[in-house]
Structures are given as structure tokens and as C-alpha cells.
Structure 1
Amino acid sequence: MFFSVIIPLYNRPQEIKELLETLTKQTYTAFEVLVIEDGSKLDAKEIVDAFREDLDIHYYYKENEGQGFARNYGFERARGDYFVIFDSDCLIPSNYLETVKNYLYEHHLDAYGGPDDAHSSFTPVQKAISYAMTSVFTTGGIRGKKKNAGGQFHPRSFNMGVSRKVWEKVGGFLITRLGEDIEYSIRIHEAGFKIGLIPTAKVYHKRRTSFKQFWKQLHFFGRARINIYKFFPQTLKAVHFFPALFTLFLVFTLVCNVFSSVFAGICNTLLLIYILLIFIDSLLKNKSLNVALLSIIASIIQLTAYGFGFIQDFWKRIILKDK
């Protein structure tokens, strides 16, 4: 089984260096690497060239079109039986490809996804952000689960693989951002291919390094959910409204603290209980008081940023029907 690892890249030369270093340590070596530089001003050609003796690596530079179409560019040039997609801010465990290969031989999948986790080298903020993106108290713990309240399992593009047969029949990404990976996996499902989670094929996902960057990313994710709805209305589930409802609750709580002491007491108590649950859960998982405190901030940012983005485009694109 031969893998083609495809990595879109935009102005992140240091990230690709760290990712490629982890790929040189893979225990299964039947793979190539395609780095697609998507119109970056800070290109990584010299960094990629430094790995040519250690990896079967190919570097391509194209005009900027976004990560979805950069991956398509890689698909067109890949030689593998499976195309493995990573985000440039991931670190890959040394047994990743061997784990995937063994799993696919025992349980055939046409496309797969894997979970993400925080690496011990991550900063406290990165660990808190990782918690916020995977906790049952924020995302419902749906990332990295075979089934969830949102319906079918949809691989995410930070850790995703598709077979060559999928590419030949379904093609690649139709949209380049705003939920492109979910839209793609829905079409793979509808074409009759088998998609599943490989629970042991995890990556260490650094995500954003500051809360400001995290806010921008999650606001974008909230908007992306509405974009997916425009393609597939049936995929919008009750669970997707939770961040928006939490955001409205937070606004209501702030208003009550100004105008209504009775309702303020109830809302403040509920909010305090929720914050304590996050703190205790993160403390148990991360074994760090600092990370547990930062997890409270990260979780509130995760919910409100997503919520505002969701509400913004729900109002604009569904209520006002703005194309």
C-alpha cells in the first residue's frame, strides 16, 4: 500500500519544517510527500529541499486559491493508493502510517479520518485550545468519534485520507474553504463509499498559538456550518445550534446583570456551574492548574466565536437569503 501525503501550505515555513521532521521518523516508509505552496509570500522551498535525502518529497508552487483547491492540485499529481491530507500545523506520530495501513487491511475503508490530541511540547494555550476543540462540554466530544449527535462521521482535513478510487469517481473539493472538508465527505458518502474513523490514527494538532487567532478561526468555522447547509440542508442538526444558544445566553446574562437581579442570579449560577465543570474536566485530563484555567477562556472563545459566526451567516444567508 503506497500513500501520498498531501500538505497545503500558506505562509507557514516553520510549521512545515516541524511536520516534515515527524514524517522522516515514520516506521512505514512506502509513501511520498507533496507540499503545495498556495501562493505564499513566505515560501518554504529551501526548507522542503533540505528533506530530499530523507523523504520522497515533491514541492509545487501555485497561485493562491485556498486549501481545498491546493489539495486538488496535489491529488492530480499523487501516485498513491491513498491520499493522506494533513494541515501544516500537525505533528505526526512515528507509527501513524503503519497504523493506518494495518487498519485498512483489516477493515476496508474508502475514506477515513482520525482524532487529534495535544502534544507534550505544546504551550499551555495550545493545550487549552486543544481541550476546547475536543471536550464534551464544548463540541460535545464529536470530533474523533465514529458516531455523534450531528449524524454521519465526517473526516476533517487536518487528518483525513481518501482512496484513489474516491478521487477518480467523486473528484476533489468543490469549495476551497468554509467547510470544504465536510462538504467533500458528504459527497463521498452519497457516492456509496465507506467512510470510517481510525481511532488510533491520531495526530498532534497545534491549531492556533493565541486566543486572538483562535477567535478568528472559530468565527470562520461558525460561518462554514451555514455554508455547508446551503449545499446540504439536511445536515444542519440541533447540536450545531448549541454555540449560538450559549452565545445568546451569555448576552442575556450580561443584560440581566444590568437590569434584573432576579434573572441575573439564576444565569450567573448556571454559568458558574458550567465553568466549574470545564475547569474540573480539564484539570483531570491535563493535570495542570494553568491549563485548566486557560481552558475556561478557550472554551468560552470556542463557543462564542463559533456562535457569532453561525448567527451572522444564518441571519445573512438564510433569513435574508443573501447569496
Structure 2
Amino acid sequence: MFFSIIIPLFNRPQEIDELLQSLTMQRYRQFEVIIVEDGSTKPAKDIVEKYVDVLDVRYFEKPNEGQGFARNFGFARAKGDYFIVFDSDILVPHDYFDQVIKGLRRDGWDAFGGPDAAHASFTPIQKAISYSMTSPFTTGGIRGNKARVGAFHPRSFNMGLSRAVYDLTKGFKLPRRSEDIEFSIRMIDMGFRVGLIPEAFVYHKRRATFLQFFKQTNFFGKGRIDIYQMFPQELKPVHALPAVFVLGLACLLVLNVVGILFHTTSVVVLILMLFGNSLLSIYTFLLFLHACLTTKSVWIGVLSVLAAYTQLIAYGSGFLGSYIEKVWLKK
């Protein structure tokens, strides 16, 4: 079984260096690596050339069109039986392909995805963000495990597909923003077997600051409405939970401001304040406790609470703003 690894790249030379280094450690060696530089102003050609003696790697440059079309560029030049799509901000465990082959033989997937995890070398913020994106206390908890809502949709940080899937689908239709979800839905609609290989995980560094993380997850929230407009049946109640969280947080803030600044004696306002504050406090405490136990660090537990709030507020506000703009106002 021969694999073609497709990696779109945009101004991430340090990341691709770390990713390629992790690929040199693979036990299974029947793969090629195709790097597609998507209009970067910080090209990584010199870095990639360091690995030509230890990896079957090819490097291409093209004008910027977005990661979806960069992957299609790589697909068209790939030699493999299966195509593996990675984001540049991951590290690959040494037994990744062993797990993929085992999963393919066991389940017979035409296309698949795997989960992500935090590596020991990650910064505390990256570990907190990783926790948030995989936690049962956020919508991240439905990703990368079998207890999910609806069909599994592989994500582009860790996605695989057979050549037959590419030949029929012709790859990604969208250049960016939810392009992987659209592609996954289209594969399923065409009758391909698409599923999760839980053991085929990667270490996903994600963003390095909370501001970057906010921008990324806000983008995800907007992208969910893009998918809703193309596939209305794919919008599930769980996708709206961050938006409900944002609305509830806003209402609670108003109640607290009214109660404190105006010294209200309204029984209804006081009850709602008590109930809302108690509910939020319990949620935050359980989130913190679970994060501490999961990451085995109190400090990362504190950062994980900040990461979870960042994720929920960013995704929820992006979801709400895009829904109002595109669905209600029809812009």
C-alpha cells in the first residue's frame, strides 16, 4: 500500500520543518510527500530540500488560492493508492501508517479521518487549546470519537482518501473555510464508506495564542453556516450550542449589571441572576476539574478554562453573526 502525503503550506516554514522531521521517524516507509506552497511570502523550499535524501519529497509553488485548491494541486501529481492530507501544524507519531493500514483492513474505509492529541513538547497554551478542542465540555468533544452526532466527517488536519474517491469527486470544491466538511459530505453522498480510525491520531499544535485561536474558531463558526446553506440537513442542534452559550452569557451579563448598578429588588431578576451565576460557576468548576485531571496540570487546567471560553464565544459569535447576515438578512 503506497501513500501520497499532501501538505498545503502558507508562510509556515518552521512548522513544515517539524512535520517533515516527524515523518523521517515513520516505521512504515512506503509513502511520498508532496508540499504545495500556496503563494507564500515566506517560502520553505530551502527547508524542504534538507529532507530530499531521507524522504521521497517533492516541492511545488503556485499562486495563492486557498488550501483546498492547493490540495487538489497535490492530488493531481500524486502517485499513491491512498492520499493523506495533513495540515502543516502537526507532528506524526512513528506508528501512524501502521495504524492506518490496520484500520483500513479492519473497516474497509474509502476515506477516513483520525483524531488529534497534544504532544509533550507543546506550550501550555497549545496544550490548553488542544484540550478545549477535544473536551466533552465543549463541542470539541464530539470530534475524533465514536460518540458523535451524525456521520463522521474527516477534517483536513488528518484526512485520508483512496485514489478512487479522488477520481470520482475531483477533490475539494471550496478553496477554504469548511472545505473539508463539504468534501466529506459529498464523499458520503456519493456512496463511499467514510469513517474514523481512532488509533490514527496526530499531534496538532493549532494556534500559539488565544487571539489566534479566537480568530480560527470564529472562522469555524461562520463556516458552519456556509455548510448549512449548501446542506441544510447537516445542521444539528449541537452545532448551535456555542451560540446558545453566547446568548446566555450576554443575558447573564445584562442581569448582573442591572442587579448591581440599579440595586434591583425584582424577585424575578434576582432568581435569574442566582440561577445563571450558579449554573455558570458549576460548569466552570467541572470544566477546570476535568481539564486538570486530563492534562495533569493545574496551570494548564486554568488555561484550558480560558481556551474553552475562547472557543465557545468565538465559534458562537461567528455562527450567530453569519446566520443573521446570510440566513435572516440574505446577504
Q: TM-score, normalised by structure 1?
A: 0.98
2:200 alignment partner in structure 1: 201
Runs (4+) of structure 1 exceeding 2 A deviation are none
Report whether the alignment pairs 1:282 with 2:281.
no
2:214 alignment partner in structure 1: 215
Determine the C-alpha separation between the residues in 2 that align with 1:237 and 1:146.
Answer: 17
Determine the C-alpha separation between the residues in 2 that align with 1:146 and 1:62.
Answer: 38
2:275 alignment partner in structure 1: 266
1:122 alignment partner in structure 2: 122
8 Å CA contact 2:130–2:206 kept in 1: the answer is yes
Amino acid in structure 2 at the alignment position of 1:307: G
The correspondence of residues 13-162 of structure 1 with structure 2, limited to 5 A, is: 13-139=13-139, 141-149=141-149, 151-162=150-161
Residue 145 of structure 1, CA deviation: 1.7
8 Å CA contact 1:146–1:196 kept in 2: the answer is no
Determine the C-alpha separation between the residues in 1 that align with 2:4 and 2:116.
Answer: 20
Amino acid in structure 2 at the alignment position of 1:305: A
Which deviates more from structure 2 when the two are superposed, residues 254-263 or residues 34-43? 254-263
Q: Tell me the matched-pair count.
A: 321
- Give SS of 2:200's match: coil
Residue 318 of structure 1, CA deviation: 0.5
8 Å CA contact 1:247–1:308 kept in 2: the answer is yes
2:263 alignment partner in structure 1: none
8 Å CA contact 1:35–1:58 kept in 2: the answer is yes
Determine the C-alpha separation between the residues in 1 that align with 2:241 and 2:103.
Answer: 34
Determine the C-alpha separation between the residues in 2 that align with 1:58 and 1:160.
Answer: 20
Residue 148 of structure 1, CA deviation: 1.4
Determine the C-alpha separation between the residues in 2 that align with 1:237 and 1:140.
Answer: 14
Residue 292 of structure 1, CA deviation: 0.3
**Cα shift readout 1:99-158 (whole Å, capped 9, x = no counterpart):** 112221232110000000001111110011001101011016111123512x11000000
1:300 alignment partner in structure 2: 309
Determine the C-alpha separation between the residues in 2 that align with 1:141 and 1:125.
Answer: 18
**Cα shift readout 1:248-293 (whole Å, capped 9, x = no counterpart):** 1111111011113612222111110010011010011011000000
The correspondence of residues 303-314 of structure 1 with structure 2, limited to 5 A, is: 303-314=312-323
Q: CA RMSD in A?
A: 0.9
1:245 alignment partner in structure 2: 244
**Cα shift readout 1:61-96 (whole Å, capped 9, x = no counterpart):** 000001100000000000000000000000000000
Determine the C-alpha separation between the residues in 2 that align with 1:222 and 1:216.
Answer: 10
- Give SS of 1:141's match: helix
Residue 309 of structure 1, CA deviation: 0.3
- Give SS of 2:176's match: coil
Determine the C-alpha separation between the residues in 2 that align with 1:207 and 1:316.
Answer: 28
Note closer, same or farther for the CA distance 1:199–1:41 as it changes in structure 2 (3 Å cut): same
- Give SS of 1:173's match: coil
8 Å CA contact 1:68–1:175 kept in 2: the answer is yes
Which deviates more from structure 2 when the two are superposed, residues 31-40 or residues 264-273? 264-273
Report whether the alignment pairs 1:321 with 2:320.
no
Which deviates more from structure 2 when the two are superposed, residues 255-264 or residues 75-84? 255-264
- Give SS of 2:61's match: strand
Unaligned runs of 5+ in 1: none
Amino acid in structure 2 at the alignment position of 1:264: M
Amino acid in structure 1 at the alignment position of 2:113: G
Determine the C-alpha separation between the residues in 1 that align with 2:15 and 2:311.
Answer: 23
